[in-house]
A and B are shown apart, each in its own frame.
Chain A
Amino acid sequence: MRTRLVQGLSRFAATLAALVLTGAVLVGGATPAFAADKIYLKDGRVIEGEIVREHDGSVWVNYKIGGVEQNGVFFSSSMIDRIERDAPAEAAPIEAKPAPESAAKAQPRRPGVPRAVVLTLEGTVGLEFAAKPLKDAIPMLEAQLGPAEDGERVVVLKVNSGGGLLLEIEHLHKVLEEEYKPRFRTVAWIESAISAAAMTSHILEEIYFMPQGNYGACTGYSGPLVAMKDRPLEEVLYMMEKVSAKGNHPIPIMRSMQIDEPLSANIGGDGQVSWYNTDEGEFLVNPKGRILTFNANTATKFKFSKGTAATVDELAKLLGYQEVEWVGRPEAGSLFPISKAEEHQRWWRESVEETTSRFNEYFAKYQISVQNAASSQDRAERGMFVGAARRELAIIERACKEHPNIKLLNGIPDGWFEEQHELLRDLMRQ
């Protein structure tokens, strides 16, 4: 730790020299007191300070060491595990325009105007699209949407996912049913919800589509496209019957999304839709031999969706509001403002993507270090390699702790980390 601290100061000195050379001044904020952004480094250090500049995950930070101000100290993205921001509007990326004040500070509620946020659920269910970040976002939502007694609070879950792990669906249902629904008006806004993503969203009573929206194709399978069958299939079918009831959706719809059963419907004079897992209804929604996926037109026609909205303004109208305060900071290219809770979802996804894409690499590096340690005759050299192995192991361990499904998917058994720590200790005892 001390050695790494010295390295950090050396980099600072080099940075300072460069600043003198260029005449550039990196301190962006006018405030002398540092905001409490937290940069969690992979070596275990936590830097608390103010991010004054950033680029592609690398940051320049003002912070204090022992009361002494350090300005513009650089931390590359490869050193950083994650960042928690205190004031994201101020610490904006280089390319971003300054955020308006309303996005950065808590604004007083306007009476009678609901507050809403959009949270994106993207990636693989069980990895990027998971229950944990949704649960972690709740305090952020409470803070930004304000207390319930001050007005309606709406959470729009914008779904864009091709599905994923069956085992995560129940965790997601639990968070949505027990944590979100009691607190917020929670609705789904479907860009693409395929397979486990549709099965997750199905617990919500209010489902809206984007014009390009698609929803369904929930057949469970494993390996080389081998369908679930027998008892496991029956259990999933039953689970989704219960979920359909909670989401107030007719059971035949999800059945036709999961297994080869036709789906037809009658639309009564009062507009009520009756559903059948046969082809005898007036409208054949899904023929035998096909698996159902709704598009925006069919979802609306048969009243599965409560409407189609391309923008948050259109969505607000469908929700029945004249006016909605969409909470968050504006971002170029985004359909909606970005709240802290949404930033948390994005951070989670980036973290998971980085981890999953490099997991095998971390493992291979760890093994190389262990092999080199084991073959070293010189104790000092062995210590060097054991140190390298410990660093890689720490990365793997943290990844598995933060993302338990990664541990599961990579077949890491319980107790493996303890064994590895013991192995490394043994290597040093030699």
Chain B
Amino acid sequence: MGAVLAAGVAPAAAQAAQAQADDAPDQLIFKDGRIIQGKVIEETETHVKFLVVVAGISGEQTYSKTDILAIERGERAEGEGGEEAPPATTTPRSGEGPDKPAAPEGDEADDGAPSVYVIELKGKFGRDITMTPIRNIIKDAAKHKPDYVIVVADNAWTFQDGSEAPNDAALFGQIFLAEDIEPIFTAEMPQIFGYEPEVIFWVKSAMGGMAFLPFNFDTMYFSSGARMGGIGNLIYQYGNTGDEMVREKLFSAGMGHAEGMAIHGGYDPRIIRAMARTDYVLSYRIENGQVVLVENEPRPEFNEYLLTDDGTISEQQDTDRELARGEGNDTLTLTAKVAHDLGVSKGTADTLDALLYELQIERRHRLIEGRSERIMEEWSDSVRNAERSLKRLWKEFAEIQVQGERRERTMARARQMRTLDQIIQLLEKYAEVDKLGLFEHPEGLPDVPSLRVLREQIRQEQMKDR
């Protein structure tokens, strides 16, 4: 039944048992239906070290995750707990980020002050910023019952080599991940909280798929250096494949999704159309303090300004100089000024204090010390660790030699199948990252169905081996 290593109770584990005496037990649910209760001492990608307590006697055992169906963590008596709790070896971080304000003087818990929970979505969209960590953050936030949830959109917009990508680089196709993430905020969060908090999107960098997300919310602020875009490749996604009418159908469908998000948040869908379609012409004028969008070249007599021209006409295509300086207008990239002019952004704020001032709660608020930053880091670390494990496991698999006596061959095949199970488990666990091609595979690793077939081949070889 997997690698079960019985050992005496280590001092750390005994302390853990003592400290957590008031907590509800954790449960390990095995694939054969067994359930044991105790405490998770340590969890890695492939093993769980567990303190089993029976009739007052403790025993520490290590179980292979290939045998485990689920790990359920009991409610903690104090502090944080639950499924998203980190492995026991993680040490708490200290210090605060540069944007977090110092606590106001004389700050005690002010029960009447609105509470604020900040979620920083940093890293690569689709790899670091994806459903699992966001769900875990929402669960953490729910414990604190915040009045405001400030979501900082600050995704990395870089090439593979880490260099900064320009405004005209584009990933419209990430829209579907944004659609998967959005209901976590709009449907799940209110259900979990039991009420609807104020959700504020603070845009610092919302490029590629990240650009769609803030559109679903009616309150956006920008930092002064912010940019929101990187979705301008809609009409280039299929090259010259097939018939133009079919390509146009697919563009129309994609735009339908994108415009839907904008309408959902209360924005004019033509703005997102200008961000996505290079051939779309959009200008604006201000009339009685209101923005009026017009789908034509600007008419000077009406004091109209160009937002985007038809970049498919060669004379109007952005030049290299314009693109290098981020001044292209074939597609729209929202900056703080443009976003404010168009009424997309309610204001510009460069620090959290400034944002809280805009929200009129700067003088009196309670900033919640949540775990969102830790959760994001742990997720990113777990993805990296999983990639390393995958590489190691695939190498290990390749090195297993089925030879020698029958007993040795049997053991070798068992190791092969266990290794494949671990690989499959990792690929399935990180499927949300894998489906966007952002989960690095070792060379030659087939997909999950092929791995299952390979496993079956080994199993049948074992059947033949008498």
Contacts and interface: CB of A to CB of B under 8 A. Distances in A.
B453 A364 contact: yes
Given A216-B252, A293-B253, A381-B466, A224 B242 contact: yes
A225 B246 contact: yes
Contacts of A55: 29, 69-70
B256 A290 contact: no
Contact of A22 (B36, B188, B192, B257): B36
Nearest to A218: B249
A15 B253 contact: no
A225 B250 CA distance: 10
Contacts of B398: none
B259 A195 contact: no
A368 B34 contact: no
Contact of A295 (B32, B54, B259, B466): B259
B260 A295 contact: yes
A315 to B, nearest CB: 15
Interface residues on A, range: 35 or more
A408 interface: no
Nearest to A331: B191
Interface string A221-232: 101111100000
Interface in A12-30: 14-15, 18-19, 21-24, 26
21 contacts: A22-B35, A24-B37, A26-B35, A56-B69, A76-B31, A76-B32, A214-B253, A214-B260, A216-B253, A223-B242, A225-B247, A226-B246, A260-B248, A290-B248, A291-B245, A293-B256, A296-B263, A332-B188, A360-B449, A361-B452, A388-B460
Interface in A181-238: 192, 194-195, 210-219, 221, 223-227
Contacts of B243: 221, 225-227
Contacts of A372: 460, 463-464
B457 A384 contact: no
Given A24-B37, A369-B460, 6 more contacts: A226-B243, A227-B243, A293-B256, A332-B191, A333-B187, A365-B456
A75 B259 CA distance: 45
Given A24-B37, A212-B261, A332-B191, A225 B241 contact: yes
B281 to A, nearest CB: 12
B138 to A, nearest CB: 10
A70 B150 CA distance: 52
Interface string B188-207: 10011000000000000000
Contacts of A18: 33-36
A77 to B, nearest CB: 9
B264 interface: yes
B255 A21 contact: no
Contacts of A378: 466
Given A211-B260, A225-B246, A162 B253 contact: yes
A292 B70 CA distance: 47
A14 B248 contact: no
A293 B252 contact: yes
Contacts of B449: 357-358, 360-361, 364
B32 A14 contact: yes
Interface in A65-98: 72-76, 94
B357 interface: no
Given A76-B31, A358-B449, A376-B464, A333 B188 contact: yes
Contacts of B457: 368
Interface residues of B, number: 50
Contact of B54 (A21, A60, A260): A21
A415 interface: no
A11 B32 contact: yes
Which of B33, B34, B456 lies at the interface centre, i.e. has the most chain A CB atoms within 10 A of its CB?
B33
B336 to A, nearest CB: 26
B269 interface: yes
A289 B70 contact: no
Interface in A337-362: 357-358, 360-361
Contacts of A216: 252-253, 256
B72 interface: yes
B238 interface: yes
Which of B37, B250, B466 lies at the interface centre, i.e. has the most chain A CB atoms within 10 A of its CB?
B250
B183 interface: yes
B34 A15 contact: yes
A322 to B, nearest CB: 24
Interface string B243-280: 10111111111011101110110000100000000000
Contacts of B34: 14-15, 18, 74
A360 B191 CA distance: 39
B35 A219 contact: no
Which of B183, B216, B449 lies at the interface centre, i.e. has the most chain A CB atoms within 10 A of its CB?
B449
Interface in A257-276: 259-260
Nearest to A215: B256
Interface of A: 11, 14-15, 18-19, 21-24, 26, 55-56, 58, 60, 72-76, 94, 162, 192, 194-195, 210-219, 221, 223-227, 259-260, 289-297, 332-335, 357-358, 360-361, 364-365, 368-369, 372, 376, 378, 381, 384-385, 388
B177 to A, nearest CB: 15
Which of B246, B249, B449 lies at the interface centre, i.e. has the most chain A CB atoms within 10 A of its CB?
B249
Task: List the 10 closest pairs (A to B, CB-CB), nearest first.
Answer: A74-B33, A225-B242, A214-B256, A212-B260, A219-B249, A18-B34, A293-B256, A217-B253, A227-B243, A212-B264
B37 A22 contact: yes
B325 to A, nearest CB: 32
Contacts of A290: 248, 252
Contacts of A212: 216, 257, 260-261, 263-264
Contacts of A192: 256-257, 260
B242 A227 contact: yes
Given A224-B241, A291-B249, A368-B456, A335 B256 contact: no
Interface in B25-54: 29, 31-37, 54
B256 A194 contact: yes
Contacts of B247: 225
Contacts of B452: 358, 361, 365
Contacts of B249: 195, 217-219, 221, 291
B319 to A, nearest CB: 26
Given A295-B269, A381-B464, A227 B245 contact: yes
B32 to A, nearest CB: 6
A333 B191 contact: yes
A24 B75 CA distance: 17
Interface in B156-211: 183, 187-188, 191-192
A214 B259 contact: yes
A56 B252 contact: no
A296 to B, nearest CB: 5
